[in-house]
Chains A and B, each alone.
Chain A
Amino acid sequence: MKYAMLIFPKPGSHESLPPEQYAPVNADYLALRDDPRCVGGAHLQPAETATTVRHNRGEVLITDGPFADTKEVLGGYYVLDAADLDDALEFAQRIPAIRLGGAVEIRPLVEIPAEAAF
């Protein structure tokens, strides 16, 4: 089963780390990327770089900033091919954002039947 691990770091928790503490955190993120169950993922640039597009009365509206008006913003994600939710939970608990005060939301991906995929 495939799962998206949506990482919501505690705001400022990673940026505020001195280089000698950031290095092992970063190494942990990279090691998770190398886990055989990990089939994708990305580290997103900060929310200040986001651009949001939507329709407003038929017009395309482009605005600066992230869509959700909350403090917690998506910082990155992994896509995992795991045996089951417990397997995915085990992986999720090793994501450094958690021990730095953030959270990880696990969302199963919609499975696309073979015939429908093109």
Chain B
Amino acid sequence: MAAERWDRDGIPQHPVAWLVATGRNRAIDGLRRRRTLEHKATLLQGYDQAVTVDDIDLDENSVSDERLKLLFTCCHPALAADGQVALTLRALGGLSTEQIARAFLVSHETMKRRLSRAKAKVKAAGIPFAVPPDRLLAERLPAVLAVIYLVFNQGYPDGDDLAQEAIRLGRLLSELMTDEPEVYGLLALMLIQDSRRAARVVRGELVLLGEQDRSRHDRAEVEAGRLAIDRALSLRPTVGPYVIQAAIASLQAEERIDWGEVAALYERLELLTGSPVVALNRAVAIAEAGAPEEALALVDSLDLGDYRYLHSTRAELLRRLGRDAEAREAFELALRMATTEPERRFLARRLSGL
């Protein structure tokens, strides 16, 4: 029903993962028990390491190092957020200005200006070409992760492929920063979400997680994602927002989903991020766990303005509660706010089924 993928609003703005000591969670402990470090380390390394060199022509050893520096430069907080994303795709993704412009639905000229503004700022303001020192890492890494995840989500809805690019960047980062749990958390999250790609849109129609043909899920990708989660958990006992989101995605990849556990993880994520979008997802999990009234009460308490998934979620909850007239009204509202064709058709189908 609601967003199984995170919308832009759901990205934690300042994940303070490693600063927040939280209690452990059964799901995470379970995942931890299930695997051994050696096993996963080998598999993780075996999972496609292709690193392509676009602009930088250096020897094998320095390439990775240079690319990591470039990534931190492109994601420097002194650059505007849209500039960070564009610059990262241009410099590290090897995408053309035209391709980036298309992905972000702006004109070629606008994207060209955005890129040259960002590049000029890097030069004029003396933004360093360096991996930040340890004291700055906790402050700088979240921006890099957020940019990569934004790239991932940009690629998801229309199938126009930035997702693979984001996964490639995430994997590169995980190879270069081998001791940051959130780096693995992000990689895991992207891999597991991406594993549903073939099942999520069938013949142009959006299929909800619960109704997806699980045989079309890419098991190898789920497994690679779980190994990355294990790696993250082995590094530090406290978990950050990306690791939690990855753990949720991992639970949802099970044949029988433990929705109570999913709701508990969302609650932890809510504590870390304070995001109402997270609360909306928790409501979905609560409903799936068998308590739609409780879920609806939570949804109605949220301050989400006109967030489009708010209405589709309310509509679905009302439908399940048999409050058809109210459901119809909410579906109609959601339909007016939908931004992609598959979403529109999905909502229209629900509406006609009332």
Contact = CB atoms under 8 A, between A and B. Distances in A.
B19 interface: no
Interface residues of B, number: 10
B136 A85 contact: no
Nearest to A1: B126
Contacts of A83: 128
A89 B76 CA distance: 12
Contacts of B136: 86
Given A86-B132, A86-B136, A108 B127 contact: no
A112 to B, nearest CB: 14
Contact of A108 (B124, B128, B132): B124
Interface string B127-162: 110101000100000000000000000000000000
B124 A84 contact: no
A59 to B, nearest CB: 37
Contacts of A108: 124-126
Nearest to B78: A85
A106 B127 CA distance: 12
Contacts of A1: 126
A43 to B, nearest CB: 25
Interface string A73-92: 00000000011111111000
Contacts of A88: 126
Interface residues of A, number: 12
A1 B128 CA distance: 11
A87 B126 CA distance: 10
Main secondary structure of the interface of B (DSSP, over half): loop
Q: Tell me what chain A mostly uses at the interface: helix, strand, loop, or mixed.
A: mixed
Contacts of A89: 78
A72 B130 CA distance: 34
A90 to B, nearest CB: 8
B117 to A, nearest CB: 15
B260 to A, nearest CB: 44
B315 to A, nearest CB: 44
Contacts of B124: 108
B28 to A, nearest CB: 34
Interface in B77-111: 78
Interface in B54-77: 76
A84 B128 CA distance: 6
Contacts of B76: 85
Contacts of A106: 125
Nearest to A3: B126
Nearest to B76: A85
Interface string B109-129: 000000000000000111110
Nearest to B123: A108
A25 B78 CA distance: 27
A85 B125 contact: yes
A66 to B, nearest CB: 26
Interface string A83-107: 1111111000000000000000010
A89 to B, nearest CB: 8
A24 B69 CA distance: 38
Contact of B127 (A3, A82, A85): A85
Contacts of A82: 126
A86 B125 contact: no
Contacts of A87: 128
A24 B132 CA distance: 30
A88 B54 CA distance: 31
Nearest to A110: B124
B141 to A, nearest CB: 14
A84 B136 CA distance: 14
A84 B129 CA distance: 9
7 contacts: A82-B126, A84-B130, A85-B127, A86-B127, A86-B130, A89-B78, A108-B126
Given A86-B132, A108-B126, 15 more contacts: A1-B126, A83-B128, A84-B126, A84-B127, A84-B128, A85-B76, A85-B78, A85-B127, A85-B128, A86-B127, A86-B130, A86-B136, A88-B126, A89-B78, A108-B124
